[in-house]
Amino acid sequence: MSDQANPFESLQEQVDDASAYLDASDDVVNRLKHPERVLETNLSVEMDDGSVEVFKAFRSEFNGDRGPYKGGIRYHPNVSRDEVKALSGWMVYKCAIVGIPYGGGKGGIIIDPDDYSEGELERITRSFAKELRPFIGEDKDIPAPDVNTGQREMNWIKDTYETLENTTEPGVITGKALDSGGSEGRVEATGRSTMLTAREAFDYLGRDMEGASVAVQGYGNAGWIAAKLIDELGANVVSVSDSSGAIYREDGFDPRDVKDHKNETGSVSGYPGAQEEFSNRDLLTLDVDLLVPAALENAIDGDLATDVQADVIVEAANGPLTPDADDVFAETDTYVFPDILANAGGVTVSYFEWVQNRQRFYWSEERVNDELETIIVSAFDDLIEAYEENDVPTMRQAAYVVAIQRVVDAYEESGNWP
């Protein structure tokens, strides 16, 4: 894996790459390459042993032309200001391509959560929520889960906000547990949009999903659900991985069984049904029909891309390919179906959660999944229309053309407030 590409520069390059196909002036596009504001804060939190530790945290509000800022909060040692800025920009274009009424934001704390007790994590999270309080709100900025955060953290943030504001406002945050105002289908939503994108992609390319070989890099919430749902389409998930390494089985795994093993032992490694174990790099270069990077940014750089054999890639992670990798894949006719569509299920069901919170009226899981499918399939069709009609070289550029044009139109229709 490469840690060389700066994700914020990657985002800016992606916007530039799409600009030639947009009906917009350079200065209007240029304002879409920088966040509107970034909060940087140092959280002083008491540890279980009475000492005080300081944690750096960020929240970037990238663009609000289409609605309140929206996006997750991640806890990871590699969080940085530039990473959060990039992720917040990707949220703008993700919300735009699926046509939900939000701008983009993202937050993060530089922390390895495995090193802290539950009580410490609660105090750290509540301390961040206190700092976020002036910025967030159901019509302002709506956080959600991301890497290493989930329902537990969302519930703490909601509770801190509601206590300080002396109100009930479940729509201030999404990805909550069901009994705290969460939505059916939210946990599975990111992986579900990856499956739907893969299904539509195979259909568009005239390939058969039945029996197709699939490798999934990353077995967190997005990766494992994508593996499970793609397996249910009849494909063969032959390799999966996490930070401990990759496992392989020629006839395919039962993803649920691998997940049970990971729950029990902490990793996919050592899974008894595996024929072989190798590195993440080996997984990414397997000769499979479909490759799903579902871990972190920069999993495939230009160098590694030259060894990738799959010719269809569906991105479940945010930013797993560097722009150099995109250049290689454009040359090798590898189809890359981009993150801003393929993992947009998470934020789309967050939108459903927010709608349900505001209406105090809750949907069935079936309704959530049906409405999600409608949105993802229609966004896929918009992407293909842009790809074919404007002769855009790659699927990523086509997605950005559709998304950026929607943000530009919203900006130009409302005018500017100096």
Does residue number 343 form part of the binding site for ligand GLU (CB under 6 A)? yes
Q: How far is the CB of 251 from ligand GLU (least distance, A)?
A: 33
- CA angle (84 as vertex; 373, 226 as ends), nearest 5: 30
Which stretch, 224-232, 239-247, 346-354, 394-402, contacts ligand GLU (CB under 6 A)? 346-354
Nearest CA to 54 among 127, 153, 135, 122? 127
Does residue number 67 form part of the binding site for ligand GLU (CB under 6 A)? no
* Closer CB to ligand GLU, 67 or 302, in the complex: 67
Does residue number 158 form part of the binding site for ligand GLU (CB under 6 A)? no
User: 3-state DSSP call for residue 121?
Assistant: helix
β-strands 141-145, 69-76: how paired? Answer: parallel
* Closer CB to ligand GLU, 61 or 146, in the complex: 146
Which stretch, 55-63, 154-162, 246-254, 342-350, contacts ligand GLU (CB under 6 A)? 342-350
Residue 399's H or E segment, with its range, is helix 395-414
Q: How far is the CB of 125 from ligand GLU (least distance, A)?
A: 16
Site string for ligand GLU, 265-304 (x = CB under 6 A): ----------------------------------------
Residues 6+ apart with CB under 8 A from 232: 195
* Closer CB to ligand GLU, 88 or 280, in the complex: 88
Interface with ligand GLU (CB under 6 A), residue from 1, 5, 144, 304: 144
Which stretch, 48-56, 69-77, 124-132, 244-252, contacts ligand GLU (CB under 6 A)? 69-77
Which stretch, 13-21, 24-32, 68-76, 309-317, contacts ligand GLU (CB under 6 A)? 68-76
What are the phi and psi torsion angles at 144 (to 5°)?
-165, 175
User: 3-state DSSP call for residue 53?
Assistant: strand
CA dist., res. 121 & res. 212, Å (int): 42
Which stretch, 138-146, 210-218, 280-288, 392-400, contacts ligand GLU (CB under 6 A)? 138-146
Could you give the residue numbers annotated as active site? 106
β-strands 69-76, 52-63: how paired? Answer: unpaired
Does residue number 111 form part of the binding site for ligand GLU (CB under 6 A)? no
Does residue number 356 form part of the binding site for ligand GLU (CB under 6 A)? no
Does residue number 19 form part of the binding site for ligand GLU (CB under 6 A)? no
The residue number with the shortest CB distance to ligand GLU is 72
Q: What DSSP string describes 323-355?
A: HHHHHHHHHTT-EEE-HHHHTTHHHHHHHHHHH
* Closer CB to ligand GLU, 313 or 349, in the complex: 349
Q: Find the length of the chain.
A: 418
Distances (CA, A) of 29 to 4, 5, 318, 400, 405: 26, 22, 22, 12, 9
Sheet holding 141-145, edge to edge: 37-46, 52-63, 104-110, 69-76, 141-145
Interface with ligand GLU (CB under 6 A), residue from 347, 375, 376, 386: 347
Binding site for ligand GLU (CB under 6 A): 70-72, 94, 144-146, 174-175, 318, 343, 346-347, 350
